[in-house]
């Protein structure tokens, strides 16, 4: 507590409040940065641009993130964390494999529908010649994390899902997204994912014929 010029006692922001405000600022900056990268590409996004649009001084951005490169890295990490949370494999344990496949494809479709720019941000970072190697490493580790999620979610003790097949599924998700986005998102992304899901389910059935 402190007294103002009139002698009134006023409450001063405590450490918890400052921390919360700082966290809110970081989250706002990261969200805006992801949108700007998707729209303009990595090399075209500047700290001045971010500062003006989010309403935070450039010096504050540097205090929070250290550099533009580290801010971009934070944005990439945030994207992959969001996608992994959306897949949520833990609640699929014990369910029939076909149901788990349906659920994973549905969750991917739902995530891209709610966050249509997300994969575009990653693609912009990946294909930009100016993207630092550290950011590329974050992208690589993020995709490896998705592979691990799929191996866990769709494998069984009797028939583990191989890493190669999980990588193929990740590639299918990326390809479906690119076609959907390039075509103006006029159809549900599920229309692009369903043929791949059916193909995968047919492959599972052929690999695991019903027991007699």
- First vs last Cα of the chain: how many Å apart? 77
Q: Which of 17, 131, 127, 4 is nearest to 70 (CA)?
A: 131
Q: How many helices (H) and strands (E) does the chain have?
A: 9, 2
pLDDT for the residue numbered 2: 47
Both structure tokens of 136 = 């590329």
pLDDT values of the chain reduced to their tens digit, one per residue, 212 residues: 444 545 555 554 566 776 677 788 888 998 888 888 777 766 788 899 999 998 999 999 998 888 887 887 777 677 767 777 777 777 888 888 889 999 999 999 998 888 787 777 777 777 877 777 877 887 888 888 889 989 988 988 888 899 999 999 999 999 999 999 899 999 999 999 999 999 999 988 776 654 44
pLDDT for the residue numbered 88: 73
pLDDT for the residue numbered 35: 82
Please tell me the distance from the alpha carbon of residue 136 to that of residue 174, in angstroms, as a whole number.
Answer: 17
Helix pair angle (68-87, 58-65), 10° resolution:
60
**How many beta carbons lie within 10 A of that of residue 176, not counting itself?**
24
Write the Ramachandran bin of 10: left for phi over 0, alpha for psi from -120 to 50, otherwise beta: beta
Degrees to nearest 5, angle at CA 202 with 192 and 166 = 70
């Amino acid at each position: 507590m402190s007294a103002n010029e009139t002698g009134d006692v006023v409450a001063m922001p405590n450490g918890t409040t400052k921390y919360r405000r700082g966290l809110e600022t970081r989250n706002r900056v990261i969200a805006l940065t992801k949108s700007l990268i998707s729209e303009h590409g990595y090399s075209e996004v500047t700290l001045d641009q971010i500062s003006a649009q989010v309403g935070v001084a450039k010096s504050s951005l540097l205090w929070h993130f250290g550099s533009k490169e580290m801010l971009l890295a934070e944005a990439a990490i945030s994207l992959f964390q969001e996608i992994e949370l959306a897949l949520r494999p833990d609640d699929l344990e014990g369910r029939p494999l076909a149901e788990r496949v349906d659920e994973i494809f549905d969750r991917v479709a739902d995530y891209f529908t709610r966050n249509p720019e997300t994969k575009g941000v990653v693609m912009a970072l990946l294909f930009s010649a100016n993207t630092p190697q550290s950011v590329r490493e974050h992208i690589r580790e993020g995709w490896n994390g998705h592979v691990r999620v799929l191996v866990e979610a769709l494998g069984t003790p009797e028939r583990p899902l191989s890493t190669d097949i999980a990588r193929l599924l990740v590639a299918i998700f990326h390809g479906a997204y690119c076609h959907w986005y390039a075509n103006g998102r006029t159809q549900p992304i599920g229309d692009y994912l369903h043929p791949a899901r059916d193909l995968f389910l047919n492959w599972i059935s052929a690999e695991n014929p019903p027991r007699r």
